[in-house]
Amino acid sequence: MTVCVEQSVPVEPQVVEEKNHSNTNELVLDGGFVEPSNEATGGFDAPEVNAFGHTFRDYDAESERKKQVEEFYRLNHINQTYEFVQKMREEYKKLDKLEMSIWECCELLNEVVDESDPDLDEPQIEHLLQSAEAIRKDYPNEDWLHLTALIHDLGKVLLLPRFGELPQWAVVGDTHPLGCAFDESIVHHKYFKENPDINNPIYQTKNGIYEEGCGLENVTISWGHDDYMYLVAKENGTTLPPAALFIIRYHSFYPMHSSGAYKHLMNDEDVENLKWVNIFNKYDLYSKSKSRVDIEKVKPYYLSLIKKKSSDGKGWYEKRSWPIERLFIPSLILQSRLLCSTVRTMKVIFSKF
């Protein structure tokens, strides 16, 4: 299936500074103020507790999700090794065959529940729309942010049988670097003691195999929906702004964006882009709730956003269709812990106008 995607680019954002006030976020874009219109819209105020009555991201709270989430991180920390990530990246960055529209891909997430998340047990299409609607309310003019929110978790389709049915530990959850020491701030850090990389002394140093200030671009991050969706967008020549790609690629890298870890590996560009991730994160995290978005009601807006044309005739994507392909790779050597003996990878590409 091929669907035309023609989108608009109203502004090319350049964040100079972000200020936080009690009720509003204020973004300084290239010298001018772009304020979220909280007053006009009612805005988005972060709730104090999640749908289960606990504070957000409390991995120790005795909640109904605790056991499952902890087991998820145990498997994630044991199985995500430097070598595993290299293999997955190599295989998944090839693009071919299967095609589908962005919206169709969103709808597939109706079947997906994220086992790593202590704050949400709703189907993931709800999360896409909850976060996009929340950020849209506060930043009505930044439609690139609405679109970024809509697609940021699409990579979770890797969990579905037709896309390879990767195990949850290889798709969702927070991410972290491989090839250097595991920071203490990583959720359920204790489970790294069973990770084979722990036996490589170089991997256990602060910089590991990396140079100080080398830039996150050069750092191998645990494999999952972030990196996959980033590869999809990049390999298909997206014209979304660099900040959008950074958000997609690192929104689950909580040790970096929320705990301030791994700063020594970042370069100036990363530091600049981090400001956008921090803004996005508020909506990604605190929009998680039991109140469902009326999908049919908001669908026309997102479809129009996906199809919208910019004044220069270019959209967010230089290419206009979004084929998703499935590829059978019998030769991929997998760790024995992986649940399947072969992996089918799903690729998304954009064909030319």
CA-nearest of 73, 99, 86 to 232 is 99
Size of the site for ligand INS (CB under 6 A): 10
Count of alpha carbons within 13 angstroms of residue 268, beta-carbon side: 1
Is there binding between residue 116 and ligand INS (CB under 6 A)? Answer: yes
Does the protein bind ligand INS through residue 155 (CB under 6 A)? no
Q: What's the Cα-to-Cα distance from 108 to each of 7, 144, 265, 303, rounded to whole Å?
A: 22, 22, 36, 16
Interacting residue with ligand INS among 7, 117, 164, 169 (CB under 6 A): 117
Considering the complex, what minimum distance in angstroms separates the CB of residue 175 from Fe ion? 9
Compute the distance between CA of residue 93 and CA of residue 234 in angstroms, rounded to an integer. 10
In whole angstroms, give the CA distance from residue 132 to residue 6: 19
For 223, residues 6+ apart whose C-beta sits below 8 A from its C-beta are 80, 84, 85, 88, 89, 170
Rg for the chain (alpha carbons), in Å? Answer: 20
Task: Pick one of 122, 174, 197, 227: the residue that binds ligand INS (CB under 6 A).
Answer: 174
Q: Which amino acid is at 353?
A: F
Of 79-87, 169-177, 294-302, 305-313: span binding ligand INS (CB under 6 A): 169-177
Backbone angles phi, psi at 200, to 5 degrees: -95, 110
Tokens representing 92?
């998944």
Name which position in 153, 174, 197, 270 contacts Fe ion (CB under 5 A): 153
Each residue 234-253 as x (binds Fe ion by CB under 5 A) or -, in order, gives ------------------x-
SS3 49: coil
DSSP string for 90-124: HHHT---S----HHHHHHHGGG---TT-TT--S-H
Q: Site map for ligand INS, 124-153, x if CB under 6 A?
A: -----------------------------x
Bridge partner residues of 348 (DSSP)? 324
Q: Is 115 in the site for Fe ion (CB under 5 A)?
A: no
Among 114, 138, 143, 197, binds ligand INS (CB under 6 A): 114
Which of 180, 177, 218 lies closest to 201 in space, CA to CA? 180
- Of 25 and 116, which has the nearer Cβ to Fe ion? 116
| 280-309 binders of Fe ion (CB under 5 A) | 284
Q: How far is the CB of 252 from ligand INS (least distance, A)?
A: 3
Which residue of 65, 136, 251, 347 would you call a contact of ligand INS, by CB under 6 A? 251
Number of residues that bind Fe ion (CB under 5 A): 3
Structure-block tokens of residue 93: 């960055």
Q: Which does 122 bind (CB under 5 to 8 A by kind): Fe ion, ligand INS, none?
A: none
Distance CA 52, CA 61 (A): 10
**Chain centre distance of CA 125:** 14
Among 149, 172, 247, 324, binds ligand INS (CB under 6 A): 172
For Fe ion, the closer CB: 208 or 240: 240
* Coil vs helix vs strand at 259: coil
238 contact, one of ligand INS, Fe ion, none, CB 5-8 Å limit per kind: none
Distance, CA of 205 to CA of 207 (rounded, Å): 6
Shorter beta-carbon distance to ligand INS: residue 154 or 349:
154
Residue 120 or 180: the one with the smaller Cβ distance to Fe ion is: 120
Q: Which is nearer to ligand INS, 35 or 107 (CB)?
A: 107
- Residue number of the CB closest to ligand INS reads 252
Closer residue to ligand INS (CB): 117 or 142: 117
Give, for 134, the enclosing helix (H) or strand (E): helix 124-138
Site residues (CB under 6 A) for ligand INS? Answer: 114, 116-117, 153, 172-174, 251-252, 254
Site residues (CB under 5 A) for Fe ion? Answer: 153, 252, 284
